[in-house]
Amino acid sequence: MLITCPYCGPRDVIEFTYQGDGNRERPQPASQDLDAWNAYVYDRLNPAGDHNEIWQHSGGCRAHLRVVRNTLTHEISSVAFTRGDHKVAARHKAEGKL
C-alpha cells in the first residue's frame, strides 16, 4: 500500500504509523460529560468502505495526516495534513473555545 504524503510524495506504508479512527471527537479537556468521553474512547463506526483515519508519516516528514481509505480495497481517495483543518479543532474554534 502506498500513501501519498502531501509533503513527501508517494511512500510505502511501512514509513507510516497508524493512529486510528479519525471520526472520533475528543471532548473539551474540561468536559465532565462522561458519555461523550466514553464514546470518544470506546465507540467506533468501523465501516466496511471509506474510513476516515489518522496516520503519521513517522519514517518521513513526521506530519500527521488525515487519510480516507477504503477498508475493503485499501484504495486511498484523499490525504491531507491534519493541522488546521481537523474538524474538531475547526469546530472548537468556531465555538470560540480555542
Partner 1 sequence: MAEYSAFSLLKNALTGNKDWKPAWRKPDPKASYDVIIIGGGGHGLSTAYYLAKEHGITNVAVLEKGWLGSGNVGRNTTAVRSNYLLPANTRFYEHSMKLWENLSHDLNYNVMFSQRGCLNLAHTPAQLDDFARRGNAMRHLGVDAELMTTAEIARLVPALDVSATARFPIVGGLMQRRAGTARHDAVAWGYARGADRRGVDIIENCEVTGFLRDGDRITGVTTSRGEVRARKVAVAVAGSTGQVVRLAGIDTMPIESHVLQAFVTESLKPFINTVLTFGMGHFYMSQSDKGGLVYGGDLDGYNSYAQRGSLPVVDEVMSEMLALFPGLARVRMLRNWGGVCDMSMDGSPIIATGPLPGMYLNCGWCYGGFKATPASGWCFAWTIAKDEPHDINAPFTLDRFHRGLVIDDKGQGATPRLH
Question: For binding to partner 1 (CB under 8 A), which residues are involved?
Answer: 1, 12-14, 18, 20-21, 35, 38-39, 41-48, 51, 53, 69, 71-74
Tell me whether residue 34 or residue 94 sits nearer to partner 1 (CB atom).
34
Distance CA 57, CA 83 (A): 13
| Residue with the three cell numbers 510505502 | 12
Tell me whether residue 26 or residue 97 sits nearer to partner 1 (CB atom).
26
Tell me whether residue 41 or residue 94 sits nearer to partner 1 (CB atom).
41
Question: Nearest approach, Cβ of 53 to partner 1 (angstroms)?
Answer: 7
Distances in Å between the Cα of 46 and the Cα atoms of 21, 51, 75, 81 are 8, 8, 16, 22
Cell of 60: 518521513
Question: Nearest approach, Cβ of 81 to partner 1 (angstroms)?
Answer: 19
Is 8 in contact with 61 (CB distance < 8 Å)? yes
Question: Nearest approach, Cβ of 42 to partner 1 (angstroms)?
Answer: 4
